[in-house]
Amino acid sequence: MINLPATRLFNQEKQRSGQRTGQRRFASMVRCAPACPRAVQLSGMGLPLRLLILLILLLTLLLPARAQVGQLPAMSAGQVSVSGLSSGAYMAVQFEVAFSATVTGAGIIAGGPYFCAQGSVYTATTRCSCTSELFACRVHPGGTRIADLIVLTDWFAADLAIDATSNLATHKVWLLSGSIDSVVPQPVMTDLFNYYRHYMPASQIVYRRTLPAEHGLPTDQYGNPCTHLGSPYINNCSYDAAGQLLQWIYGPLLARNSGPPAGRTLAFVQSEFLPFPTLHGMAAVGYLYLPPACEASAGAGCRLHVVFHGCLQDPNHIGSTFINHAGYNGWADTNRLMILYPQASATATNPQACWDWFAYDDPRYALKSGHQMAAIKRMVDRLTGVNPAILPAAPRCRPDRCT
């Protein structure tokens, strides 16, 4: 289990106490210290003494919390795969297709085809999902215009903006669509299945679509009832989605660790991979789950799986719930798997902390040169011992396509 940095606790307490309203009084107190009487210094912000003492204690906790956030360690893992839910599912598809020479497989829960939104919020919320509060849902079989998306994918690949699509032929893909998902209805996932079928044989794809699940990550031991729609968007469906997708991608695995975690969850700064990440919809801190065997070997003989959370599943919304309860870490402990949890964050144009699959930050969001895409690829390179590649020049985009 992990604990969030003490900064969040301090910020919450600061908001409750109304400290911001007293900043000017605090500034005048500092200017006269230490000449001010002791009583004035203690009450200069108009706060009760006990609350001031509590804030001081929280500040003392702040320093060790920051010290625990370091750099992502250099490792030498192999066999990279990805998975995700909802916006994380779209991000996983984007990453797999764009970096198909690096990734070997994907697990997609409640997502859609590559470049589904084509940079349009309207399309993202009416054709690729049913999330618009202004317009009616227009999801229907074939509604994502798969033929157009395939043409665009091939064009991006020809322009070297993404890896060659021929790499996808050897990937193993696992898809799950809840039969009662009201956010990303099943026709969208079926379009994704048909998109993949253009690039790989049916034998490489598993498509689960009979589980009576609402929009969320299905587990067999944690979460809301399976038919519930709501935070933290993890539902106990008596179905271990994380285990199923990992076993399809990597083949038979040893039984998961069902006890306390054996590994460590490391917090790392994401700004090393994307300057000013919070301006681009990525959080300041990301997480890596590292089982003992992989830590001891610096990743040698281990595999790397990247998990993209969905909207409203970042630490600011649900704390460490997704990292601790999505179901991946127990499998990692017993199967030499390293689990990378990159983190998105809310912005003015992305208040629900979704991943960028509809150009809220970057018009080239689905290409290798996209802000978030390139940042995560640098994380993967660090963990697999690969020297970061120089990205190709931006493609020559046609009007209304990628600009």
Do 92 and 14 belong to one domain?
Answer: no
Phi, psi angle pair for 220, to nearest 5° = -115, 15
pLDDT of residue 33: 29
Does 47 share its domain with 94? no
Q: How far apart are CA 107 and CA 112, in angstroms?
A: 12
Residues 153 and 280 in one domain: yes
Query: Is residue 211 assigned to a domain?
Result: yes
* Segments in 111-145 forming alpha helices (H): 121-126
Range of the structural domain that residue 136 is part of: 78-384
Whether 256 and 125 map to the same domain: the answer is yes
Domains identified in the chain, total number:
2
Q: Is 65 inside a domain boundary?
A: no
What does the block give as tokens for 253? 């695995």
% helix / strand / coil in the chain, to the nearest 5? 40, 15, 45
The per-residue pLDDT for 54 is 52
Token readout for 97 is 């297709």
Strands, E, within 209-281: which ranges? Answer: 217-219, 224-225, 234-236, 264-269
Residue 96 lies in a domain: yes
pLDDT in tens, 113-166: 999 999 999 999 999 999 998 999 999 999 999 999 999 999 999 999 999 999
Beta bridge partners of 225: 236
* Whole-prediction pTM: 0.81
Q: Report whether 114 contacts 77 (CB < 8 A).
A: no
Is residue 280 within 8 A of residue 346, CB to CB? The reply is no
> 294-347 pLDDT, tens per residue?
999 999 999 999 999 999 999 999 999 999 999 999 999 999 999 999 999 999
Q: Residues 238, 268: one domain?
A: yes
Can the peptide bond before residue 34 be classed as cis, meaning omega within 30 degrees of 0?
yes
Catalytic sites, residue numbers? 86, 181, 215
Question: Residue 402 domain-assigned?
Answer: no
Contact 86, 310 (CB under 8 A): yes
Q: Are residues 52 and 165 in the same domain?
A: no
Residues 229 and 375 occupy one common structural domain: yes
| Alpha carbon distance 44, 27 (integer Å) | 9
Q: Identify whether 11 is part of a domain.
A: yes
What is the pLDDT at residue 390? 56
10 pLDDT band, cuts 50/70/90, is: very low
298: left (phi over 0), alpha (psi -120 to 50) or beta: left
Q: Is 219 in contact with 278 (CB distance < 8 Å)?
A: no
Contact yes or no for 155/389 (Cβ under 8 A): no
Q: In sequence order, what are the residues at sequence separation of 6 or more whose Cβ sits closer than 8 angstroms to the Cβ of residue 306?
A: 80, 81, 82, 83, 92, 95, 339, 340, 342, 376, 379, 380
Contact 249, 242 (CB under 8 A): no
Residue 200 lies in a domain: yes
122 shares a domain with 31 = no
In a domain, 69, yes or no: no
Q: Does 90 lie in the same domain as 13?
A: no
Among 6-20, 254-268, 320-334, the minimum mean pLDDT is found in 6-20
Check: CB of residue 97 under 8 Å from CB of residue 162.
yes
Least confident stretch, 16-20, 96-100, 230-234, 318-322: 16-20
Sole residue written with tokens 């940095």: 5
Same domain (yes/no): 188, 110: yes
Tokens of 349: 């144009």
What is d(CA 362, CA 280) in angstroms, rounded to the nearest whole number?
A: 8
C-alpha to C-alpha distance for 126 and 226, rounded to whole angstroms: 24
Please, which pLDDT band fits residue 177 given cuts at 50, 70 and 90? very high
Residues 83, 51, single domain; the answer is no
Among residues 110, 247, 250, 111, which one has the least CA distance to residue 171?
250
Contact 362, 379 (CB under 8 A): no
Maximum pairwise Cα distance, the chain: 79
245 and 351 both lie in a single domain: yes
Residue 15 maps to a domain: yes
Expressed in angstroms, the distance from the first to the final Cα of the chain is 42
45-63: per-residue pLDDT in tens?
Answer: 344 545 544 543 443 333 3
